[in-house]
Amino acid sequence: MQPNNLTHIQSIRNDTSTTCYRIFSPKPNASKRLFILPHASGSASYFRQWHELVDADVEVVVIQYPGRENRISKPLINDMSQLVTTLAVGLRPLLNKPFVIFGHSMGGAVAYELTLKIQSYRYREPCHLVISAIEGPSCHHQGELYRASDEQLLAELTRLNGTQVDFNQYPELADMVLPLMRNDYQLIETYQPDLNAAKIACPVTVMAAEQDTELTIAEAQTWQQVCASSFTIKTYPGDHFYISSQASNVTKYICNLYPNNQNWLCAP
């Protein structure tokens, strides 16, 4: 890596308000990276502890969408193309080591589109793409829940088991979560995948939960249609947010996806 790149990475690590990611436990000497894309209304802190679960030589980089936590002053983005373009450019300095991209629920669709964007920009590509708890592009679920009342949106979040908070007791939290939910649901519900897009060049794993009412195995299998390389489905016990109880098993699986090839080159 060139010295100017080292300086750039150090500077963006120190300014978390302007970067599109959080690194809760920096590992400058790590040989690999894991990029995580959160679910709708999710923030980087949901995955704060994942750095404790991965191998010592894996640095965990969690995407922080604008408008939340340390980026609360940044405008929300409800358009998929705009979001992934911003992410691809913002992450490029970190694509200098073997990396895996993992996305959960809405984050799975963002991870897919981000991988396509990285391919189209001819950046260094991921070793593996891991998509969790969302259907493939050919059967993408569109909708208009983002137009629903505040009460309906919060009920949906509770139904998916995405939070244990009683928003009736903590209305200030509801005031924080609702704009994020409405924005992110608009992003994913109005998202229209390009069914003629390029195939994903790297291997793809789709993770699904056995009790997830939002995703069937048949819908998970449709991801194979976008793959040019190997395709695997991995199932876990639990509901839509199985990644909470299964975090250790999920990260262990991911850590086995990196290649042993020591000749992996730095990004251009």
Q: What is the mean pLDDT of residues 166-176?
A: 71
Q: What is the pLDDT of residues 191-229, one digit of tens each?
A: 999 999 999 999 999 999 999 999 999 999 999 999 999
Looking at the chain, the whole-number percentage of residues with pLDDT higher than 90 is 75
Rounded to 10 deg, the angle between the 80-91 and 106-120 helix axes is 60
- Residue 104 designated active-site: no
Domains, the chain, with CATH or none: 3-141+199-253 (3.40.50.1820)
Q: Which residues on neighbouring strands pair with residue 104, listed in sequence order?
A: 132
Q: Which residue has the higher pLDDT, 173 or 91?
A: 91
Confidence band for 167, pLDDT divided at 50, 70 and 90: low
Structure tokens at 140: 């993408």
Q: Which of 240, 244, 245, 248 is catalytic?
A: 240
The angle formed by the CA atoms of residues 7, 76 and 177, to the nearest 5 degrees, is 115
Q: Which residue has the higher pLDDT, 77 or 173?
A: 77
- Going by C-alpha positions, the residue among 109, 103, 97, 89 that lies closest to residue 46 is 103
pLDDT at residue 17, rounded to an integer: 54
- Residue 128 designated active-site: no
pLDDT at residue 161, rounded to an integer: 63
Q: What is the pLDDT of residues 140-163, one digit of tens each?
A: 998 898 998 888 888 887 777 656
Q: Which of 41, 43, 105, 132 is catalytic?
A: 105
Above 80 in pLDDT, residue 4?
no
Scored b (16 or more CB within 10 A) or e, 79-89 reads ebeebbbebbe
pTM for this prediction: 0.89
